[in-house]
Amino acid sequence: MEYTETIHARGHEHVQSTHASTFEVTSDDWLTPAGDCILAIEADRTPADFSDEFVDAAQSHDAEITATLSTDDHTHTITGHGHPELTFKDDRSAVGRTSDYVDDRTIMVGAEGAAESVDRELVAALADGADLTLKLRVER
């Protein structure tokens, strides 16, 4: 079975996308230069908004979760895994992690990439304020 969730957000001049172990999309309307994992702000949805079906499917070590990051001209995909302790309860940020660390913001663990691995042309577009679509797909 496959389930999807979509988040729309926008880039910001401080997007750097240099963090080595996480990537994040936040509903905050601001970003400081210290937020080196944040790809976009003003997200229209957060993990707390995800369907019960998506959450249930993602709460397994066997779940494969794919994050597709898209602007008008660029697309980048990061694949990771689910985890039984994923709660999807955070109402502020969605975070993908290369590690197995889980908190309420975590949307995937064991990600094959993080902010630093995102296509640099996509990052440049986000730093210019481009709109971002983050499509999450979970398969079990």
- pLDDT-based confidence at residue 106 (cuts at 50, 70, 90): very high
How many separate domains does the chain show? 1
The Cα 131–Cα 71 span in angstroms is 6
DSSP state of 93: E
Q: Show the domain range for 21.
A: 2-139
For the segment 58-74, the average pLDDT, to the nearest whole number, is 97
CATH number at residue 42: 2.60.120.630
Q: Which two tokens stand for residue 48?
A: 């707390």
Assess whether pLDDT exceeds 90 at residue 89.
yes
pLDDT, tens digit (0-9, with 9 covering 90-100), for 112-140: 999 999 999 999 999 999 999 999 999 98
Distance CA 27, CA 7 (A): 10
